[in-house]
């Protein structure tokens, strides 16, 4: 498919959101984002671009969501300050017409794992079962996934205002939690809310939760704000998809992490190698496997999304 075959973007109004904590951009990223802006303008795609600097990433993302709702935008395109993409990704994603659409991308550090995840047992509540997408999963069209990074992600603004199904909805919460909540009195729920953290209320939209003090994006105890956003969205019945026919590069420590880097690491299984002695004074520590571990931080395991 090419831009001439896309139609939906002609009626879209996209807010491109780029958190930028350091208030800096690399020249490669700046050039790519300028290329995107020029192409989108040429194609007649209506968009505004906002960079939020000097703010923690989850604060910045929440501000951008609030602006998207207040401004009457149809979509938010998360495009990070270290993302390099083909401009066609945006109209292509709009054409897919999904709640949330993610582009596969590599982590910044070896072994450059792909930042899209799916549960291996079909239970998206079971974060310990999540696995990273591999290059073998690419080239398969659009597929449903359980979450991923906001490196390059398109979200419909209407998903912010969509109410969930409540505690009785079959996907809202794991059965163990639902059973426990059924034993609590209103007073006990209030105590838990006050001292331990709020009990999820999936009958509320993300916008309503934000107005009550639970922001669109929050940093969980373990993991990352974007994966937690995807988890909250899925609990409200929203769908998370990935377009495996595109790939977003990542300005990292390579310095630019491309699909070829990830393919190399899979082929050589570099993550499993032991330290390599160079001489009596130097040892090269091969990078560990840095796969996302959403079950929690354990001292004997590696975690990622940095």
Is residue 302, in this structure, part of any structural domain at all?
Answer: no
DSSP class per residue in 65-129? HHHHHHTT-SEEEEE-TTEE--TTHHHHHHHH--SEEE---B-SSTT--BSEEEESSS-TT-GGG
- pLDDT, mean of residues 223-245: 93
What's the pLDDT score for residue 262? 83
Q: Tens of pLDDT along 198-226?
A: 777 778 899 999 998 899 999 887 889 99
Note whether residue 174 is domain-resident.
no
Report if residue 262 sits inside a domain.
no
Chain segment 142-198, per-residue pLDDT in tens: 999 999 999 999 999 999 998 876 555 656 667 787 788 778 888 888 888 777 777
How do residues 68-84 score in pLDDT, each as one tens digit?
999 999 999 999 999 99
Alpha-carbon distance values, 108 to 91, 163, 280, 293, 297 (Å): 26, 35, 30, 16, 20
The answer to whether residue 270 scores a pLDDT higher than 60 is no
- Asked, for residue 59, whether it belongs to a domain, the answer is yes
Mean pLDDT rounded to a whole number for the chain: 85
Mean pLDDT (whole number) for 126-135: 92
Mean pLDDT of the region 226-232: 93
What's the structural domain count of the chain? 1
In a domain, 93, yes or no: yes
Check whether 59 has a pLDDT greater than 70: yes
Q: Is residue 179 part of a domain?
A: no
| CATH number, position 68 | 3.90.550.10
Is pLDDT at 258 greater than 90 in this prediction? no
For residue 120, being part of any structural domain is answered with: yes
Range(s) of the domain holding residue 146? 3-162+216-251
Q: Is the pLDDT of residue 86 over 90?
A: yes
pLDDT of residue 166: 58
Maximum mean pLDDT: which of 47-51, 123-127, 221-225? 47-51
> Does some domain include residue 275?
no
Stretch 226-235: mean pLDDT: 93
């Amino acid at each position: 498919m090419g831009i001439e075959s896309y139609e939906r973007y002609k009626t879209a109004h996209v807010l491109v959101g780029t958190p930028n904590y350091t208030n800096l951009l690399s020249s490669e990223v700046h050039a790519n984002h300028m290329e995107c802006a020029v192409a989108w303008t040429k194609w007649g795609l209506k968009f505004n671009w906002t960079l939020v600097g000097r703010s923690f990433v989850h604060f910045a993302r929440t501000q951008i969501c609030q602006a998207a709702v207040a401004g009457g935008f149809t979509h938010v395109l998360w495009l990070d300050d270290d993302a390099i993409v083909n401009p066609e990704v945006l109209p292509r994603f709009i054409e897919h017409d999904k709640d949330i659409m993610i582009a596969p991308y590599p982590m910044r550090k070896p072994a450059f794992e792909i930042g899209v995840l799916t549960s291996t047992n079909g239970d998206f509540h079971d974060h310990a079962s999540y696995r990273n997408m591999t290059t073998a999963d690419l080239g398969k069209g659009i597929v449903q996934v359980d979450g991923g990074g906001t490196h390059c992600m398109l979200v419909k603004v209407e998903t912010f205002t969509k109410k969930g199904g409540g505690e009785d909805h079959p996907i809202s919460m794991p059965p163990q939690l639902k059973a426990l909540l059924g034993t609590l009195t209103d007073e006990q729920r209030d105590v838990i809310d006050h001292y331990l953290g709020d009990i999820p209320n999936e009958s509320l939209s993300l916008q309503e939760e934000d107005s009550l003090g639970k922001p669109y994006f929050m940093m969980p105890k373990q993991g990352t704000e974007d994966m937690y956003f995807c988890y909250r969205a899925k609990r409200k019945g929203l769908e998370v998809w990935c377009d495996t026919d595109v790939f977003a590069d990542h300005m990292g420590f390579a310095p630019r992490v491309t699909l070829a880097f990830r393919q190399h690491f899979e082929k050589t299984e570099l993550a499993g190698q032991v330290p390599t002695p160079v001489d009596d004074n130097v040892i090269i520590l091969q990078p560990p496997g840095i796969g996302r571990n959403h079950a929690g931080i354990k001292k004997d395991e590696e975690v990622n999304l940095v």
